[in-house]
Chains A and B, each alone.
Chain A
Amino acid sequence: MIAGGAAPGFAARLRRGFAASDAAPIYGALALVAAISWGAIVLAGGQINLANTLVRSVALGLVAVGQTFVILGGSLDLSVAYQVSVTAVMASYIMQGDPNRMWLGVIAVLLIGLAIGCANGLIVTGLRVDPFIATLGSGLILRGILNASFDNFAGAVPKEFQVLGYGALGPLPYAVLLLGVVAAAAWALLRFTRFGHHLYAVGGSQETARLSGVRSARVLIGAHMLCSLGAVLTGLFLVSRLGAGAPWVGPDGNYDLESIAAVVLGGTPLVGGRGGVLGTVAGVLILALLDNLFNQLAVNTFLKEVLRGVIIVAAVAIYTVRSVRSPR
């Protein structure tokens, strides 16, 4: 089907798409961080383990790609950490280690995720509750229900399901493949579909978008549902690694605040309307590379936290100073 002449056109379109996404400088930063951290690891006599770094970024990456949608629309989702927990617990509770119930579990948690995302979207758009408060509240509700129903690991996932967490296609772990496919799909959705363009419009100015005939509420509800799908995928990945889900897997990973940090690190401002998924992936990889570096250098856990705080703020400061100097 693909004619010889179409291939360069497609490649050129990809390149243009990449340039237009504003992600280019972030990938420069990523390359710099990779060079510095790998240089430091080699100098310290450690080993570069790219596959390991990538697998570690999958959990944050999936939820951060989802978070990108809501932030682009000028909203945000603080409930993702508990959505991850809900997914992990419900998946292993429904599967009960039985391979025949695997798909039942996957479909159930996807539906639960979509319902939570839809509820978040409706609270934000229909009840006009500030997204910070809306998703803080829905997160508390999820936490309450979850902790009241489960106080430890619930059920188990079958061995077949753990392939997602541990299996690989040649040198490429399935989980990394999943993140790649999800990020590519999200990128295409934002770049080539009407929904994507509308989402940027809503994030830029909800009122202008509405006056131009965009149904802002529907677009934002859609963004919240996609965000929840990201959290569900993270939950599924985590439960396939752990073998069973527990209520604390989400909050322990700090996925709420860290996913927002990764998105902002990737160049999508919190006010929305600019940026995209490619930047987010770079933001996640930067955090994973630094994590890997600190682990290899055996940096104290608490010092790691301090450094991560400083680096997130410093990186965002560099972006804003840059964008002030060269206004678009």
Chain B
Amino acid sequence: MAAVIAFEDVSVAYGGRDGLRDVTLEVAAGELCVLVGPSGAGKSTLLRLVNRLVAPSAGVVRVRGEDIARNDPIRLRRSIGYAIQSVGLFPHRTVGENIATVPRLLGWPEPRIAARIPELLALLRLDADLAARYPHTLSGGQAQRVGLARALAADPDLLLMDEPFGAADPILRRALRAELRRIHAVTGKTILLVTHDAEEALELATRVVVLRDGRVLAAGAPLELIRAADPFVRDLLGGDAPALRRLGLVTVAAAMAATAAPAGAPVIAPGASLSDALSLMLETRAEVLAVGEDGRTLGSLGLPGLLRAVPMPAPA
């Protein structure tokens, strides 16, 4: 698949923190690519290169195949959705006007804009009445969603998100992550997202890019990276319990057997993760779970099957 974003030997010279050194990276169409790393690693700098909020001191950044340094930054920015931690809604504009910002800049006809606003509110599962309200009347979660709606308003194929849920409380974060995964699945947009939270990165990403001191340390699918050889990457992504993190990345559906579970076995959904399954086994003292959904039984998952599904690296 064609690369929507390509960094070619890109460096950004800052004094010390947040610089980048010789970064080469491609983000393919439809990927949800998450940049993760400690603060000062250069994650946000890499993200901000894409819409020219930061200029590289060396190297080329291509968006949709074109060297962005040669094109108009204003047009580039209007073609890319952008959501940030602080949301940055315009306090003197209503929610609807906030969402309509980019379509208006692009000169969409008013009827099309008027139709687009409720569409986006619905996509973000927000009440249509919100359109007439001012940002200061919104809850934190609503403001985050409106910020995301504004980023999606002109239907950009590419979305940049800088710690988009950083300001939300843990419960809200979970809900917003699920929302983002759903929106990614529904819209198929290419998303480049920055976070310092490894758990968030593993949960959201189709591909994780680990940065440290301005360099790309590792890049790959979450499950691959979690058993990476580099001790820093393993520590960052695996945390205190790397095995549990990995269980969290595999669905029950991928590990279950077609055999029927014994009568009375606790039921788990095929979309649940193996860590949910293990937790249910511990809670119910059952070694075999029935896998089912909407009253239909699909198969079973036993403890041995669960263990087989997540091979661990041989102990050193």
Partners in one complex: no
